[in-house]
Amino acid sequence: MVLNNDFDRHNLQPKKFVLWLFIVSSIIFFAGLTSGFIVYAGDGAGKSLNVDLPKAFIYSTVVIVLSSLTMHKAFLSSKKLQFAQQKLWLWLTLFLGVVFISLQVYGWTVWTNLGIFFVNSNATISFVYAFTLFHVLHIVAGLVMILTAIKSSYGTVPNVTNTFRMEITSIFWHFVDIVWIYLYLFLLLNQ
């Protein structure tokens, strides 16, 4: 007879593989975007960014790093079976993810108020909007995963399932954190 935990463990591993495939494809996607930026900006003829990044982007960088720490604390709490702590850290991570998105939207608003729009004669600015928009979409996917983990932490799911959800949510959340740091540093070096 197969134990439920063994059955769950066996069925969850393919989902982890799919997550890693998505992460690899996202890395290729963002590498392609940044390569396109480099090629376009390297062509000369005044195609560099030539504008300051919104200050909201540095604040959002701090927020996403903090959210990575809260996610790590949530994951460690789940492994120690400290479910109240897991819930607290997950809710904090969710809140910080929403703050991150709000700061990104505020940064876009600052630029549009300055007359710097997505559709622009300088496509490097359009690249910045694309970088941040696609990253925000990844953050939204991460928030959905966090909400699923929160729901799981309130339910009566097997511990192996709860730990697995926390593991894949944590992996993905740290990935979006690293991608943002890469994008922000890339943009700082190319403004």
Domain count, the chain: 1
- Whole-angstrom distance, CA of residue 38 vs CA of residue 87: 42
Assess contact for 41 and 190: CB atoms under 8 A.
yes
**What percent of the chain is predicted at pLDDT more than 70?**
91
pTM of the predicted protein model = 0.89
Residue 121, domain extent: 4-190
Q: Provide the pLDDT for residue 52.
A: 87
Residue 156 — pLDDT band, cuts 50, 70, 90?
Answer: confident
Q: What is the CATH number of the domain that holds 41?
A: 1.20.120.80
Q: Provide the pLDDT for residue 44.
A: 64
Residue 1 — pLDDT band, cuts 50, 70, 90?
Answer: very low
Assess contact for 165 and 142: CB atoms under 8 A.
no
